[in-house]
Amino acid sequence: MTAMHSPLRRRQWLAAACAALAAPQLWAARPDTAVEVWKDPQCGCCADWIAHMQAEGFHVTVHESGNAAVRARLGLPERLGSCHTALTGGYLIEGHVPAADVKKLLAEKPKALGLAVPGMPVGSPGMDGPAYNGRKDPYDVLLVTRNLMNSDVSTHVFTSYR
pLDDT tens column, 26-43: 444 454 599 999 999 988
DSSP code of 29? P
Q: For strand 139-146 and strand 114-117, is the pairing parallel, antiparallel, or unpaired?
A: antiparallel
Amino acid 150: pLDDT: 74
pTM of the predicted structure, to 2 decimals: 0.80
The pLDDT value given to residue 82: 96
Give the Cα separation of 61 and 37 in Å (integer): 6
Contact in structure between 92 and 110 (CB atoms under 8 Å):
no
Could you give the domains of the chain?
33-161 (3.40.30)
Q: Under DSSP, is residue 57 helix (H, G, I), strand (E, B) or coil?
A: coil
Kindly report the average pLDDT of the chain as a whole number: 86
